[in-house]
């Protein structure tokens, strides 16, 4: 999981305030990760996530391919905190209809498959995870996540209301923003410091 493609560009008009906030937070992440606080954050968040997954006991765990300083749940920490027998899956995004599905993944490095947004994915069978991990560009105290603006995860969550969704974020990316009508709050947001439940 070391290929870092650019996130997909949203083709719909974006809220300029949100676009500026996304840009600011994306610029902040690598600086913060290089700091003393950021250096210990990956291990701390992995530990918290491992404890949470032991409680949730997923049968099919939806991961994501990390971009530009996002928490890498598929790195060396994966074998340590994913219970034996759990199926893994990666999202596959389709530009037409701006829809997304999850495909079974063997957990190994880049299989050479990319979705229609250019993000590494899998060519495995389509599955529906019972627990999904969501990347967060930012998050707020109300428990909403800020993504890249494409709405793929929001649409998928709206169509799968029974799924437990965990937003993974760095504490430095907490921000103030208003939720929009289409925004789907994750079940909880997990940072290296705390758990937020909306």
What are 111's two structure tokens? 């299989």
When the candidates are 3.40.50.10420, 3.40.50.720, 3.40.50.12780, 3.30.2010.10, the CATH number that belongs to 16-74+85-196 is: 3.40.50.10420
What are 116's two structure tokens? 């229609």
Residues 124, 145: Cα–Cα separation, whole Å = 28
Q: Given this model, what pLDDT does residue 77 score?
A: 53
What is the secondary structure of 95-159 as a DSSP string? TGGGEEEEEEE-S-S--S-B-TTS-B---S-EE--SEEEEE-SEE-TTS-EE--SS-HHHHHHHH
What is the pTM assigned to this prediction?
0.86
Q: Given this model, what pLDDT does residue 64 score?
A: 94
In this predicted structure, the answer to whether residue 116 has a pLDDT above a threshold of 70 is: yes
β-pair partners for 184: none
**Binding-site residues for substrate:** 70
Lowest mean pLDDT among 5-19, 64-78, 102-116, 151-165: 5-19
**Binding-site residues:** 18-22, 70
Alpha helices by DSSP H, 1-35: 16-33
Q: Given this model, what pLDDT does residue 2 score?
A: 40
Q: In the chain, where are the structural domains located?
A: 16-74+85-196
Q: Are 96 and 29 contacting, i.e. CB atoms less than 8 angstroms apart?
A: no
* Range picked from 1-5, 72-76, 192-196 for highest mean pLDDT: 192-196
In this predicted structure, the answer to whether residue 181 has a pLDDT above a threshold of 80 is: yes
**Binding-site residues for ATP:** 18-22
Residue with tokens 């037409």: 96
Q: What angle do CA 122, 47, 68 make, to 5 degrees?
A: 50
Residues 137, 24: Cα–Cα separation, whole Å = 10
Q: Given this model, what pLDDT does residue 97 score?
A: 87
Lowest mean pLDDT among 78-82, 118-122, 133-137, 172-176: 78-82
Binned at pLDDT 50, 70 and 90, residue 16 comes out as low
């Amino acid at each position: 999981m070391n290929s870092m493609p650019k996130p997909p560009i949203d083709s719909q008009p974006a809220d300029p305030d949100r676009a500026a906030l996304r840009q600011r937070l994306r610029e902040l992440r690598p600086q913060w990760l290089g700091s003393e606080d950021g250096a210990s954050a990956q291990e701390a968040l992995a530990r918290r996530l491992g404890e949470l997954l032991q409680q949730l006991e997923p049968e099919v765990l939806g991961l994501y391919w990390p971009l530009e300083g996002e928490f890498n749940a598929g790195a060396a920490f994966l074998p340590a905190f994913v219970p034996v027998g759990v199926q893994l899956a990666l999202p596959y995004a389709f530009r037409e209809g701006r829809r997304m599905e999850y495909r079974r993944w063997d957990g190994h490095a880049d299989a050479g498959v990319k979705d229609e947004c250019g993000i590494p994915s899998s060519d495995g069978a389509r599955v529906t995870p019972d627990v999904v991990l969501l990347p967060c560009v930012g998050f707020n105290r109300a428990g909403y996540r800020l993504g890249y603006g494409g709405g793929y995860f929001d649409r998928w969550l709206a169509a799968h209301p029974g799924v437990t969704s965990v937003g993974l974020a760095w504490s430095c990316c907490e921000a103030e923003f208003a939720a929009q009508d289409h925004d789907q709050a994750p079940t909880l947001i997990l940072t290296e410091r705390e758990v937020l439940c909306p």
